[in-house]
Amino acid sequence: MTRILFWVALVFLVVAAVRAKLRANIRRQQQEQFQAQARQQAARPPAVTAEPMLCCAHCGVYYPASENVPAGGRDYCSAAHTPAH
């Protein structure tokens, strides 16, 4: 009877050790995967913010604010559309 209990206990301990090792490997893989994703996100260039758009007082075209030609308190898309021309 003691031999049977010994073998049952031994099998139980081996199964428990194998399960613990498998769980540790799964956790390690998940952690590595999470860290790889975090590195990829950190390596991405920051998103470019959109530039405000303005509407030309002459033709109604929308253009970036950096290309604005102000004249007489109004916004124009080019010097050709200003009232002086």
Claim: this prediction has a pTM higher than 0.85: no
End-to-end CA distance of the chain: 110
What would the pLDDT profile of 23-81 be if each residue is shown by its tens digit?
999 999 999 999 999 888 877 887 778 899 999 999 999 999 999 999 888 999 988 98
